[in-house]
Structure 1
Amino acid sequence: MQTKAVLFDLGGVLIKLGGVGQLGQFIGVTDEAEIWRRWLTSDWVRRYERGFCTRTEFAHGMVEEHGLAMSPQSFLQAFGRWPLGLLPGAEDLVRSIDSGLFVSCLSNTNEFHWTEQKGADRVHRLFSRPFLSHVIGLVKPDREIFDFVAREIECEPSEIFFLDDNVINIEGARRAGWEAECAVGVEESQRILRQRGMVV
């Protein structure tokens, strides 16, 4: 079936993230895949990124859940610095997508990062209709978020192509019937999109 929509993850694909290694240090884990697994399955992360608690509640919950040797305030200060701004070429990549395709983002994020991240205004201008977990109350890799987006943009699942830097989320998208590939950064994303004939 012909592709009608292209959706990007943000962190790790279009936005540089500096928090994975730091989170690993906090919880005493060095394997990146395991760090991501713990992040995506954390009760407090899932709660916060669905918009179900405040940033202060989230910080207290994370310190308690993971037994972190730091105050909630210190965790929150570090957490706020994780997004490091758009990667070079990110804006050009998004704007190079074939104009006949619907283009958006599907991101597990939160009110703190979305509103206060470095270069927030530039990120916000990239997409007229972003799909943000804390706004819609759903998170990747749950099936519900992919079904929700497909309904909202009035596409069949197989008509949607999705790029994410996390294998867990790619697997979730594929289970929902989406076309999806793992991509880290702008260059890899551009290569995949060019191979599929989606950039001009």
Structure 2
Amino acid sequence: MPTKNIIFDLGGVLLNLDIPKTVQAFEQLGAPEFSKLFGLGRAESFLKAYEVGYINDDEFITDLQQLTGGKSRDEVVHAWNAMLLDFPKERIDLLAELRKKYNLYLFSNTNAIHLSSFAKTFSDTFNGASLDGEFSKAWYSHLIKLRKPDVEAFEFIIKDGGLNPSESVFIDDALVNVEGARKAGLNGIHLEPGKTILDLDWNLS
């Protein structure tokens, strides 16, 4: 069936990310094991809990402060946001072109602190524009309490958006997320390392 809907990931697809910047920032704040905690064990549990809205900002920040030996709220929030870079104009211009032919959606694994930060970056970069305004609907993991690559998360957005999976394409730079989308019946495009959305063939069947 012809494609009618495109669902974009955010970080690494529309927004440039540099995760090592956050790792380095926490190491400088006195958390030398942050790179390990970031993906494994206890830290993974509270990071994931925050990403699906199970803990609030204050609880998350307290966890980060404990990792850094009690650094200030501002210091740990700044370190947490260090990974968030810029929105290249040409990618946002491409969205405007694609909207002429497709319905555009956004689905991001994120959290309240990051959402506040990148929404401001977008607004500051594009003359007060709203990131969510670029899409028919935007879903953020901490608000829907579901995250990629879980099939249930994709089934939720399909139902909530009233989407026909066979007419919908999901684009992510993480292959595991694309695989999750495919399990839910969506068509998936993996944005491979070194590629941007400007490199894709947008003549979608």
Shorter-chain TM-score category?
A: 0.7 to 0.9
In the TM superposition, what are the counterparts of 1:1-200 in structure 2 within 5 Å? Answer: 1-18=1-18, 20-25=19-24, 26=27, 27=33, 29=35, 38=40, 42-62=44-64, 71=71, 73=73, 74-97=75-98, 99-117=100-118, 118-121=120-123, 122=129, 123-183=131-191, 188-194=196-202, 197-198=203-204
Give me the TM-score of the superposition, normalised by structure 2.
0.76
Larger Cα-atom Rg: 2
CA contact (8 A) 2:20 2:83 kept: no
Q: Which moved more, 1:120-129 or 1:149-158?
A: 120-129
Consecutive unaligned residues of structure 1, counting only runs of 5 or more, are none
How far apart in 1 are the matches of 2:133 and 2:169? 21
Q: Which amino acid aligns with 1:47?
A: A
Provide Cα deviations, 1:81-118, integer angstroms capped at 9, x if missing partner: 32223123121111111534210111111221212335
CA contact (8 A) 2:8 2:107 kept: yes
- State, as a whole percentage, how many aligned pairs show the same letter: 28
Give me the TM-score of the superposition, normalised by structure 1.
0.78
Give 4+ residue runs of structure 1 displaced > 4 Å after superposition.
23-26, 67-70, 184-187
The verdict on how the C-alpha distance between 1:87 and 1:149 changes in structure 2, with shifts beyond 3 A counting, is: same
CA contact (8 A) 2:103 2:135 kept: no
The verdict on how the C-alpha distance between 1:135 and 1:177 changes in structure 2, with shifts beyond 3 A counting, is: same
How far apart in 1 are the matches of 2:34 and 2:161? 41
CA contact (8 A) 1:7 1:162 kept: yes
Consecutive unaligned residues of structure 2, counting only runs of 5 or more, are 28-32, 124-128
